[in-house]
Chain A
């Protein structure tokens, strides 16, 4: 389980931030979920950027596999990892139905981006442009990288 991170369970990123194992697992899982195919550790390491040591990524992948959160297959001399699709979990449609039922669902669920209007798109594009100019170091394009 994700005990607050001891030993190899936690890592430091390039800013010297100590990040607990649970958060690193989230980030590795997110990379696997965002990819269309199974990824070998080197690909995951590359996708996460230079902040994390390759060994840390490898350790996290092994731990996720031990937990049954990811499955792996042999590709040449390495293992390629992909997330396990949980059959007991909720389908997207069921989740949306539960989310959208009733007008007061905001009472409990705090959605990251909600209530967008049509005219927001142009404003957001402009703001995104400004944000990218503001912190250009890591302008990482999403999964197509």
Chain B
């Protein structure tokens, strides 16, 4: 209890600070999933640890102690957590609840908006493809939020559509369009929207992981780029398609002007092109084992801290009866 309750916090701090270097240890597809997994586990343990710390203070409130049937004096005497820390944990938990609720509402609204978009665009679909007559240079994967009922998988992607504007189609040559289709198909196949959602919720639960969603977002784009490069068997072609699309988009009229506000910002597309011009990335197995062991250690500490708090309260209950 003395130390292990603080281990999840230290882990979250390390993960939050190390997100950048960690993301370069594996191929983008694996790195995105490893980081999201680590982020969700770390955020969960962090909330659990805060809860344990807070509970040692809340348990000393006389009304709650009477209800739970334990002795406040014994608890105060045996509790290794200082009241300041315990109350700070309670305050933090309340703040996080608000943050998490706000984030959940926002994400839900984004999902509903995309669902609306999918429903409105669906009539224009041919198979997995939806073309929108628009001079803006845009393409995106539109996940289906319901499985097509009854029918056998309508498209190979199975769970969504590829939306592309005529502006994008006109900006690219036929072989380059195949890169775009393969890229968006990779997002649909990988269920990338859910992975990003998980990263965003983990960051909402633990503000130390602020940089996680932006990094995961970039990794998912890189993974789709790598998938496209493999699909067309030509990294140079994949780089060319992305660079040409980016150039056309930056020159096209009516481009959304949200700029750098979302964090990852201006370098994302150029960094992706540059990465495609380099050798394909490699994964480091040893690093995965390291992260796995670290997570198991954090989980063990969280469980152990839980047991310690349980014993503390058992002691206080025993003393009372």
A positions within 8 Å CB-CB of B: 1-4, 15, 17, 20, 22-23, 25-27, 29-31, 33-34, 47-49, 64, 67, 69, 83, 85-86, 88-90, 92, 94-96, 98-121, 123-125, 127-128, 130-132, 134-135, 138-143, 145
B58 within 8 A of A: no
Using Cβ atoms and an 8 Å threshold, which residues of chain B touch A111? 138-140
Q: Tell me which of B114, B117, B170, B266 contacts A142 (CB under 8 A).
A: B170
Asked if B259 and A117 make an inter-chain contact with CB atoms under 8 angstroms apart, the answer reads yes
Asked if A90 and B268 make an inter-chain contact with CB atoms under 8 angstroms apart, the answer reads no
Asked if A131 and B169 make an inter-chain contact with CB atoms under 8 angstroms apart, the answer reads no
Using Cβ atoms and an 8 Å threshold, which residues of chain B touch A115? 258-260, 262, 264-266, 268-269
CA A69 to CA B235, docked complex, whole Å: 32
**B263-297: which have CB < 8 Å to A?**
264-270, 273-274, 276-277
Q: Which residue of B lies closest to A22 (CB)?
A: B127
Asked if A120 and B187 make an inter-chain contact with CB atoms under 8 angstroms apart, the answer reads no
Given contacts A1-B154, A124-B270, contact A117 B109 (CB under 8 A): no
Asked if A90 and B120 make an inter-chain contact with CB atoms under 8 angstroms apart, the answer reads yes
Using Cβ atoms and an 8 Å threshold, which residues of chain B touch A104? 106-107, 109-110
Using Cβ atoms and an 8 Å threshold, which residues of chain A touch B127? 1-2, 22, 25-26
B6 within 8 A of A: no
Output the least CB separation between B124 and chain A (Å).
3
Asked if B117 and A95 make an inter-chain contact with CB atoms under 8 angstroms apart, the answer reads yes
**B247-268: which have CB < 8 Å to A?**
247, 249-251, 254-256, 258-262, 264-268
CA A139 to CA B243, docked complex, whole Å: 13
Output the least CB separation between A122 and chain B (Å).
10
Q: Which residue of B lies closest to A15 (CB)?
A: B233
Q: Tell me which of B133, B224, B239, B270 contacts A85 (CB under 8 A).
A: B133
Q: Which residue of B lies closest to A101 (CB)?
A: B113
Using Cβ atoms and an 8 Å threshold, which residues of chain A touch B170? 34, 142-143
Using Cβ atoms and an 8 Å threshold, which residues of chain B touch A138? 173, 175, 237
B74 within 8 A of A: no
Using Cβ atoms and an 8 Å threshold, which residues of chain B touch A47? 174
Q: Which residue of A lies closest to B244 (CB)?
A: A128
Using Cβ atoms and an 8 Å threshold, which residues of chain A touch B260? 115, 117
CA A85 to CA B234, docked complex, whole Å: 33
Asked if B183 and A112 make an inter-chain contact with CB atoms under 8 angstroms apart, the answer reads yes
- Binary per-residue interface labels of chain B (211-254) against chain A in the complex, 1 for a CB within 8 Å, 0 otherwise: 00000010011001000000001111101101111110111001
CA A87 to CA B270, docked complex, whole Å: 37
Q: Which residue of B lies closest to A86 (CB)?
A: B124
Q: Which residue of B lies closest to A100 (CB)?
A: B256
Asked if A67 and B250 make an inter-chain contact with CB atoms under 8 angstroms apart, the answer reads no
Asked if B268 and A29 make an inter-chain contact with CB atoms under 8 angstroms apart, the answer reads no
Using Cβ atoms and an 8 Å threshold, which residues of chain A touch B155? 2, 22
**B107-137: which have CB < 8 Å to A?**
107, 109-111, 113-114, 116-117, 120-121, 123-124, 126-137
Asked if B131 and A83 make an inter-chain contact with CB atoms under 8 angstroms apart, the answer reads yes
The 7 closest A-B pairs by CB, nearest first: A135-B236, A117-B266, A89-B124, A140-B173, A92-B134, A134-B236, A128-B243
Asked if B236 and A98 make an inter-chain contact with CB atoms under 8 angstroms apart, the answer reads no
Asked if B126 and A67 make an inter-chain contact with CB atoms under 8 angstroms apart, the answer reads yes
CA A88 to CA B224, docked complex, whole Å: 31
CA A17 to CA B129, docked complex, whole Å: 21
Using Cβ atoms and an 8 Å threshold, which residues of chain B touch A98? 113, 116-117, 120
Asked if B266 and A119 make an inter-chain contact with CB atoms under 8 angstroms apart, the answer reads yes
CA A30 to CA B178, docked complex, whole Å: 10
The stretch that binds A, out of B43-51, B191-199, B304-312, is B191-199
Asked if A25 and B126 make an inter-chain contact with CB atoms under 8 angstroms apart, the answer reads yes
Using Cβ atoms and an 8 Å threshold, which residues of chain A touch B243? 124, 127-128, 131
B171 within 8 A of A: yes
Output the least CB separation between B129 and chain A (Å).
5
Using Cβ atoms and an 8 Å threshold, which residues of chain B touch A94? 120
B4 within 8 A of A: no
